[in-house]
C-alpha cells in the first residue's frame, strides 16, 4: 500500500471517517479520495481498523455499577442562606464552622501575602496593598475557562438573579462580583461539600514567588 503524496489530505482522512469535517472540507476531501487510489485504500483501511479495534477492545461497560460508585450529585440549589445580617462576613456565611478552614486558609494566605507585600522580599517596608487572592471556588474561576462550555470559545452564561421561589443554581462562570447573594451562597454551599482541594485560581504573580506551592516544587 502506497501513501498519497498529499500529506495535508492524508491528515484529514481520519476526520472524514469520523465525520468531523464541515461540509466544505468534507466535499473537498471526498472529491480527492474519489480520484486517489492511495487515499481510497487508506480510508477503507481506517474503517476496517476502527471496526477491528472498536469491536475487540470493549466487551461492555456496567453503567449501573459505575454510576452507583459515583459521588452524589450536588444538592439541587443547595446553600440558600438566611437573610443578610449586619456584617458582610455573616451574610456570606464565612463564620459558619463548616467553612472555617476555607476562611482561615484564605485569610491566612491573604494576610501572609499582604505582609510580604508590605515588607518586601528583603524585609524592607513597602507601600502598596496586599496581593489579591481569589477565593477558592470549585466551578467558578476568575475567568470563564472554568465553565463547562462548547468547543472552546463561548462560556455558558451565568444564570441571572433567580426568581423568589426556586432555589438558585450555582453559576459556573463569571466574575464573583456579578453574582447575587443567593448565587454566592450557592457557590459557598458547593465549597462546603468539597473535601477541600482549592482550585488552581489566579493569584498575584508575585505571591507565587513567596509561597512555595506544590506545583512549583514538582
In the complex, least distance from residue 140 CB atom to another protein, rounded to whole angstroms: 9
Nearest 5°: the CA angle 127, 129, 132 is 145
Which residue(s) pair with 159 in the sheet?
Answer: none
Residue 170 makes contact with another protein by CB under 8 A? yes
Gap between the Cα atoms of 14 and 38, Å rounded = 14
Task: Tell which residue, 107, 134, 142, 108, has the closest CA to residue 198.
Answer: 134
Residue 162 makes contact with another protein by CB under 8 A? no
Residue 28 makes contact with another protein by CB under 8 A? no
The grid coordinates listed for 130 are: 496586599
Gap between the Cα atoms of 140 and 172, Å rounded = 5
Gap between the Cα atoms of 124 and 156, Å rounded = 45
Query: 3-class SS at 79?
Result: coil
In the complex, least distance from residue 23 CB atom to another protein, rounded to whole angstroms: 16
> Quick one: which segment of 94-102, 116-124, 126-134, 136-144 binds another protein (CB under 8 A)?
136-144
Q: Which of residues 59-98 bind another protein (CB under 8 A)?
A: 59-63, 65-67, 69-78
The grid coordinates listed for 120 are: 518586601
Residue 57 makes contact with another protein by CB under 8 A? yes
Judged by CB under 8 A, the residue of 37, 52, 89, 104 near another protein is 52
Kindly tell me which of 93 and 141 has the beta carbon lying closer to another protein. 141
Q: Which residues bind another protein (CB under 8 A)?
A: 1, 3, 10-11, 14-15, 17-20, 42, 45-46, 48-63, 65-67, 69-78, 138-139, 141, 145-152, 155-156, 169-170, 172, 190, 194, 199-200
Amino acid at each position: 500500500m502506497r501513501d498519497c503524496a498529499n500529506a495535508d489530505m492524508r491528515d484529514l482522512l481520519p476526520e472524514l471517517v469520523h465525520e468531523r469535517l464541515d461540509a466544505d472540507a468534507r466535499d473537498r476531501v471526498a472529491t480527492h479520495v474519489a480520484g486517489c487510489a492511495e487515499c481510497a485504500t487508506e480510508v477503507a483501511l481506517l474503517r476496517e481498523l476502527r471496526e477491528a479495534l472498536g469491536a475487540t477492545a470493549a466487551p461492555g461497560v456496567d453503567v449501573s455499577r459505575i454510576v452507583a460508585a459515583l459521588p452524589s450529585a450536588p444538592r439541587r440549589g443547595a446553600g440558600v442562606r438566611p437573610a443578610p445580617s449586619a456584617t458582610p462576613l455573616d451574610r456570606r456565611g464565612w463564620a459558619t464552622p463548616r467553612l472555617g478552614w476555607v476562611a482561615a486558609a484564605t485569610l491566612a494566605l491573604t494576610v501572609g501575602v499582604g505582609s510580604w507585600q508590605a515588607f518586601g522580599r528583603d524585609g524592607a517596608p513597602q507601600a502598596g496593598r496586599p496581593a489579591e487572592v481569589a477565593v477558592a471556588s470549585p466551578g467558578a474561576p476568575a475567568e470563564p475557562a472554568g465553565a463547562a462550555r462548547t468547543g472552546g470559545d463561548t462560556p455558558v452564561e451565568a444564570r441571572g438573579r433567580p426568581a423568589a421561589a426556586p432555589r438558585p443554581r450555582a453559576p459556573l462562570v463569571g466574575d464573583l462580583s456579578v453574582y447575587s447573594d443567593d448565587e454566592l451562597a450557592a457557590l459557598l454551599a458547593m465549597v462546603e461539600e468539597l473535601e477541600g482541594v482549592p482550585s488552581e485560581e489566579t493569584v498575584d504573580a508575585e505571591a507565587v514567588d513567596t509561597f512555595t506551592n506544590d506545583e512549583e516544587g514538582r
